């Protein structure tokens, strides 16, 4: 389960465009941040995506991606032209194609590699969708198939593209908007697949073309309900509305780390005491618990800051749990031929000492033993380190390429040193693992990752 939101220039504090996303995946499905430079390709080149190969284009743009380690595509990313995309799983009535095709994460990466604007990215994805369909397993340890929604932005506009099989609708964003694991498009949209409405009427999902409602006609109500998408989308939309004109990077990151939902407002329950409480429901910052409904956690977080005159700053965690993580700045001109600053060995599905993602995951799992008592141990230092990183980034954004190179390297080094301090402090204070339902679930996750 994931959440993505965007704020356009008329609602942000500095006239920039902001796009933010959490990637929620299985607890041991390590997330990685990777850079791929622009490249030229031979006329007959083939491109291997996650499940199928397709013809390559003559030239691809440089891309920065946040992705599950085993997937070719990505959950979120940006390209050198200032196009940024985040995807969401959505659950629909359209049967899943059994023959392999492109998965949603492949469509996202292909659009970033091939499009120079947000609207062009929508065109790239929808043309590929019509040609190859969306099909294939997206689950790490078990089969999981779904259709996709996308939030696509550049420095001037944003689009929401939502799909059901090969059918789709797209609409321009006004001001700010958010998507979660549900179709949000109703009867008004700017572009669509040719058969979107007629297919729904023919299937009896819509009484008539004039009464067509995309979400009502195509959504699988059971899966959508259990994703708790409506509550999370309300949470992010309400927060954007409440801060209209003041939306900034820090606020976007805080929203990615939010644990509140409708249950909090209704009952007074405080998620700060235990973000995994309950066997159902989901929050924007997701922590796994006893499955199958609570089987996901936020494995990576991202905020892109696109000011009118550039340079774009892409803030990444490279780790799980944005409520416990630091955001690190990356710039395309500082990545060219240098790549992402060192984050240790490439992670996979088992614990890899020295890997940024797995080292942070050790801290995360320690904190979950007593969230209310252990998170405050790092709060003050976390705020101070983030302020130092933010200061470096502010200076570098208006400086030289070398300034940005050094700022990224320093930010990653500061975060690495902080993580070592926090892990020791929390480890010294953490109780032994308990025997409640969620503790038992995490024992299983740890054994599978060879952390136990």
Which pTM was predicted? 0.95
Tokens representing 404 are: 């940005």
Q: Is residue 447 part of a domain?
A: no
pLDDT for position 213: 96
pLDDT for position 277: 62
> Are the beta carbons of 220 and 172 closer than 8 angstroms?
no
Q: Rounded to whole angstroms, how far apart are CA atoms 431 and 271?
A: 20
pLDDT under 50: residue ranges of the chain: 262-263, 265-269
pLDDT for position 156: 96
In Å, what is the CA distance from 3 to each residue of 200, 363, 382, 401? 27, 23, 24, 32
Q: Rounded to whole angstroms, how far apart are CA atoms 201 and 330?
A: 47
Q: Is 77 helix (H, G, I), strand (E, B) or coil?
A: strand
Which residue in the block uniquely carries the two structure tokens 């996308």? Answer: 150
Give the length of the chain: 452
Catalytically active residues are: 2
Q: What is the CATH number of the domain that holds 31?
A: 3.60.60.10
The string of DSSP codes covering 141-190 is SS----EEEEEEE-SS-EEEEEEETTEEEEEE--SEEEE-SS----S--S
How many structural domains does the chain have?
1
Q: Is residue 314 part of a domain?
A: yes
Tokens representing 322 are: 């944005």
Q: Cβ neighbours of residue 314 under 8 Å, at least 6 residues apart?
A: 64, 78, 84, 302, 303, 304, 305, 329, 330, 331
Q: Rounded to whole angstroms, how far apart are CA atoms 401 and 334?
A: 6
> Are the beta carbons of 326 and 369 closer than 8 angstroms?
no
> Are the beta carbons of 111 and 179 closer than 8 angstroms?
no
Q: Cβ neighbours of residue 44 under 8 Å, at least 6 residues apart?
A: none
Tokens representing 420 are: 């070592």
Category of 189 on φ-ψ map: left (φ > 0), alpha (ψ -120 to 50) or beta = beta
Q: Is residue 12 part of a domain?
A: yes
Q: Is residue 327 part of a domain?
A: yes
Q: Is residue 378 part of a domain?
A: no
As a whole number of angstroms, the longest Cα–Cα distance in the chain is 64
The string of DSSP codes covering 376-434 is HHHHHHHHHHHHHHHHHHHHHHTS-HHHHHHHHHHHHHHHHHHHHHHHHHHHHHPPPP-
Category of 175 on φ-ψ map: left (φ > 0), alpha (ψ -120 to 50) or beta = left
Q: What would the pLDDT profile of 360-387 be if each residue is shown by its tens digit?
A: 999 999 999 999 999 999 999 999 999 9
Q: Rounded to whole angstroms, how far apart are CA atoms 26 and 297?
A: 6
Q: Rounded to whole angstroms, how far apart are CA atoms 7 and 15?
A: 10
Candidates 53, 46, 240, 232; CA nearest to 132 is 53
DSSP lists the bridge partners of residue 54 as 47
Q: Is residue 408 part of a domain?
A: no
Tokens representing 429 are: 């204070």
> Are the beta carbons of 344 and 336 closer than 8 angstroms?
no
pLDDT for position 269: 46
pLDDT for position 270: 56
Tokens representing 153 are: 């932005």
Q: Rounded to whole angstroms, how far apart are CA atoms 62 and 35?
A: 7
What residues make up the domain containing 290? 3-346
Q: How many CB atoms lie within 10 A of CB 143?
A: 8
Q: Is residue 112 part of a domain?
A: yes
Q: Rounded to whole angstroms, how far apart are CA atoms 280 and 201?
A: 34
Q: Cβ neighbours of residue 395 under 8 Å, at least 6 residues apart?
A: 403, 407
Q: What would the pLDDT profile of 181-234 be if each residue is shown by its tens digit?
A: 999 999 999 999 999 999 999 999 999 999 999 999 999 987 777 678 888 899
Give Cα 4 distance to the centre of its chain: 6
Q: Is residue 214 part of a domain?
A: yes
Give the neighbor-by-neighbor strand order of the sheet with 84-90: 31-36, 63-68, 76-79, 84-90, 147-153, 158-164, 167-172, 191-192
């Amino acid at each position: 389960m994931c959440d993505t939101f965007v704020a356009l220039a008329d609602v942000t504090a500095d006239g920039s465009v902001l796009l933010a996303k959490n990637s929620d995946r299985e607890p041991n499905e390590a997330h990685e941040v990777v850079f791929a430079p622009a490249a030229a390709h031979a006329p007959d080149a083939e491109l291997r995506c996650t499940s199928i190969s397709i013809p390559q284009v003559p030239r691809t743009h440089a891309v920065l991606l946040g992705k599950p380690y085993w997937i070719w595509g990505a959950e979120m990313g940006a390209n050198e032209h200032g196009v940024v995309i985040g995807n969401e799983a959505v659950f629909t009535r359209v049967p899943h194609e059994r023959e392999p095709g492109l998965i949603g994460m492949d469509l996202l990466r292909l659009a970033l590699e091939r499009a120079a604007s947000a609207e062009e990215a929508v065109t790239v994805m929808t043309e590929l969708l019509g040609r190859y369909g969306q099909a294939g397993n997206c689950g790490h340890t078990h089969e999981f198939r779904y259709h996709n929604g996308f939030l696509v932005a550049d420095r001037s506009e944003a689009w929401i593209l939502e799909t059901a099989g090969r059918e789709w609708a797209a609409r321009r964003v006004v001001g700010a908007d958010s998507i979660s694991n549900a179709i949000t498009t109703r009867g008004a949209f700017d572009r669509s697949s040719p058969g979107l409405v007629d297919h729904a009427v023919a299937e009896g999902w819509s009484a008539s073309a004039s009464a067509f409602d995309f979400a009502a006609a195509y959504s699988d109500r059971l899966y959508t309900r259990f994703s708790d998408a409506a509550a999370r989308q309300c949470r992010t939309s309400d927060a954007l509305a409440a801060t209209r004109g003041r939306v900034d990077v820090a606020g976007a990151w805080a929203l990615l780390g939010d644990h509140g939902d409708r249950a909090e407002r209704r009952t007074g329950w405080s998620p700060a005491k235990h973000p995994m409480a309950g066997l159902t429901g989901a929050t924007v910052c997701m922590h796994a618990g006893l499955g199958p409904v609570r089987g996901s956690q936020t494995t990576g977080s991202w905020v892109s800051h696109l000011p009118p005159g550039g340079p774009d700053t892409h803030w990444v965690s490279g780790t799980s749990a944005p409520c416990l993580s630091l955001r690190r700045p990356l710039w395309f001109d500082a990545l060219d031929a240098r790549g992402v600053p060192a984050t240790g060995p490439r992670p996979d599905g088992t614990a890899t000492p020295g890997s940024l993602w797995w080292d942070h995951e050790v801290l995360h799992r320690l904190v979950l033993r007593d969230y209310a008592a252990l998170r405050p141990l790092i709060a003050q230092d976390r705020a101070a380190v983030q302020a130092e990183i933010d200061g470096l980034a502010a200076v570098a954004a208006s400086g030289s390429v070398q300034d940005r190179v050094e700022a990224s390297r320093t930010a990653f080094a500061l975060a690495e040193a902080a993580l070592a301090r926090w892990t020791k402090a929390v480890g010294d204070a953490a109780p032994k693992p308990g025997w409640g339902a969620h503790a038992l679930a995490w024992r299983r996750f740890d054994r599978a990752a060879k952390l136990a």
